[in-house]
Amino acid sequence: MSGWALTKRGGKTVDVHTAAVIDAAERKLGYPLTIVQGSPNRGVGASAGTHDRQGVIDLAPFDHERKVRVFRELGCAAWFRPAIRGLWGDHIHVVVIGHKDLAPAAARQVDAYLAGRDGLASNGPDTGPRDFVQRRFAWPPTPTRVQRAAALMEQAAVLLWHAQRDGKRRDVLAARLLLRQARKRMPKR
């Protein structure tokens, strides 16, 4: 699977879907996040392949209880990972549930989260808040009324172009119908 277009957040590579989740979390938290590992980021042994594709980030541990809660509220699997000497330092590990390009190891972590586990090889219990397990981050974003109306107007313009070129009256009628639908979707002044 090709995944999503890549961008940067906090100097780390992430895809646009994950970037949207990060942006939403920063709005809820009221401060910028420090990303210590983005994705894709292949070959990091301590990550056990979870970052090899997209939809996974590690964050600095500051305010970890609140960050884990916010990411779970947004529909992500998120855990605070205490330091393991010689393997990793304290961090928050986040997996975007429902991301279309998760590495198999990250997808298994989502399954573990849904089952009340910690997503590690030891398969310990999840100690974070469980109130948000059924939530999912809406992606792609739901188009606004104006965006839907603009799409209808675009379709009408194509039909009118074909009608002019081919002289087909039914294309004009179909374009009129689309323009009426677009008008109904526009916000009232």
Tell how strand 91-96 and strand 56-59 pair up. Answer: antiparallel
Has residue 186 got a pLDDT over 60?
A: yes
Same domain for 156 and 96: no
Same domain for 150 and 99: no
What is the total count of domains within the chain?
Answer: 2
Cα within 13 Å of Cα(38), Cβ side: 19
pLDDT tens for 81-96 read: 988 787 678 999 999 9
Domain stop point among 114, 137, 164: 114
pLDDT of residue 80: 94
Residue 61 lies in a domain: yes
Is this prediction's pTM over 0.75?
no
124: DSSP letter: P
- Got the DSSP string for 129-155? --TTTT-----SPPPPHHHHHHHHHHH
**In b/e form, how buried is each residue of 1-21, taking b as 16+ CB within 10 angstroms?**
eebbeeeebbebbbbebbbbb
Residue 140 lies in a domain: no
Greater confidence (135 vs 149) lies with: 135
Same domain for 152 and 104: no
Has residue 3 got a pLDDT over 80?
A: no
Same domain for 151 and 103: no
pLDDT of residue 178: 80
pLDDT of residue 2: 43
Cα distance between residue 156 and residue 77, in whole Å: 42
pLDDT tens for 105-138 read: 999 999 999 999 988 888 899 999 999 888 888 8
Same domain for 39 and 104: yes
Has residue 1 got a pLDDT over 50?
A: no
pLDDT tens for 9-64 read: 888 889 899 999 999 999 999 999 999 988 876 666 556 657 678 889 999 999 99
Has residue 179 got a pLDDT over 50?
A: yes
Has residue 176 got a pLDDT over 50?
A: yes
Residue 83 lies in a domain: yes
Residue 35 lies in a domain: yes
Domain stop point among 62, 91, 114: 114
Residue corresponding to tokens 């961090």:
91
Owning domain of residue 56: 6-114
Same domain for 153 and 73: no
Same domain for 102 and 18: yes
Greater confidence (37 vs 147) lies with: 37
Residue 135 lies in a domain: no
